Amino acid sequence: MLVPDHFVPNKDIPSAEQAKEMREFARKHGITYFEVGQMGIEHVLLPELGLVLPGDVIIGADSHTCTYGAVGAFATGMGSTDIASAMATGEIWMKVPPTIKFLFHGKLRKWVGGKDLILHIIGDIGVDGALYSSMEFGGEAIETLPMDGRFTMANMAIEAGAKAGIFEVDEKTLEYVEPRAKRPYHAQKADGQATYSRVIEYDLSFIEPQVAFPHLPSNTRAVSKAGKINIDQVVIGSCTNGRLDDLRLAAGILKGRQVNPGTRLIVIPGTQQVYLSAMHEGLIEIFIRSGAAVSTPTCGPCLGGHMGVLAAGEKCLSTTNRNFVGRMGSPKSEVYLSNPAVAAASAVAGRIISPEELV
């Protein structure tokens, strides 16, 4: 399957030529191609359509392919040359990675979600703390975590250097997968003799909303310790937090409020279906009335593509997954990462704040 999500709708001539080449290649070889109007951000779209399923082994030419571990698949990103070879031969070669198990105990505090749990892990173990390992997430807190939060956590496993992030298939998974599945599947589970290279445990009573400061996802701190950081732009969207639950959370905070006049807010639904559902629920109207710009589904500013590239000296708080130097535009800009609730509240305040300060 080919999903042209990074620079579409085409932002310039090179991106138009690239999309044209992909489209023609797909037609020639009978490969599914998601055209503008049907496409969305790949890692939101494919699970939504039931095209990635429990027990699958999935490779993709994007590092955040590990998102599909949320449905109990082994999914990993590979280089484009490796993907081309796999498409041509039907085979890949990789080592079976060791597994690190992460257990979360207790109950989620208010405004804390999957984004905060994975940022807390990355801040704890570092961007290479799970290098070429599989990250397995569990514990009673994970059992209550909605699917959208699980997608967020699996999505950012790569930010800890992991080969994959994976969740055990449970009732929540099956409720999500069964109405969508386009083919039979077989879920895999760890048996009683499963071995782990490490087991790391966390107490949720100590975890509040997290903010990753420039220029690494591991440079995290609690939002209460963020200090006074004025921001020029807020982005809510991406394959990390562009799902319906994310938009609901943001809209709940923005309803009846206005974006700070010194701050831009850009909202990007992850797929056309997410956009349509948000429209039916009145979320899009809330965003527009608050002063936000709402985009068609695209990766857009996450990788500095378009729809919100930063100028030198600007600061952006984003629900995306990376905040490397120059990731969203000028190498002299700064990107901070957070969950959608923190992002929405900060858009109103014009500086990084906890939702508790507004709600």
- pLDDT of 359 reads 81
**Complete DSSP assignment for 76-97:** EE--HHHHHHHHHHS----PPP
Q: If you search the block for the tokens 């080919």, which residue do you land on?
A: 2
- pLDDT of 5 reads 92
CATH topology classification for 210-357: Aconitase; domain 3 (3.30.499)
DSSP, res 66: G
Q: Which two tokens stand for residue 43?
A: 């890692």
- pLDDT of 191 reads 86
Q: Which two tokens stand for residue 311?
A: 């100028």
Beta bridge partners of 39: none
Report angle CA 242, 245, 246 to the nearest 5 degrees: 45
The full set of domain ranges for the chain reads: 40-207, 210-357
Distance (Å, rounded) from C-alpha 324 to C-alpha 335?
8
Superfamily of domain 40-207 in the CATH hierarchy: Aconitase, domain 3 (3.30.499.10)
Q: Which two tokens stand for residue 22?
A: 């992909």
Distance (Å, rounded) from C-alpha 239 to C-alpha 246?
11
- 40-207 and 210-357 have identical folds: yes
Residue numbers in the chain where pLDDT is lower than 50: none
- pLDDT of 71 reads 97
- Reduce the secondary structure of 185-231 to three states and give it as a string: CCCCCCCCCCCCCEEEEEEHHHCCCEEECCCCCCCEEEHHHCCCCEC
Q: If you search the block for the tokens 């801040």, which residue do you land on?
A: 123
pTM of the predicted structure, to 2 decimals: 0.93
- Could you report the per-residue pLDDT of 144-196, keeping only the tens digit for each? 999 999 999 999 999 999 999 999 999 999 999 999 998 999 999 898 889 99
Query: 346 vs 102, 178, 251, 263, CA distance in Å?
Result: 30, 37, 13, 9
Task: Judge contact between 68 and 158, C-beta under 8 A.
Answer: no
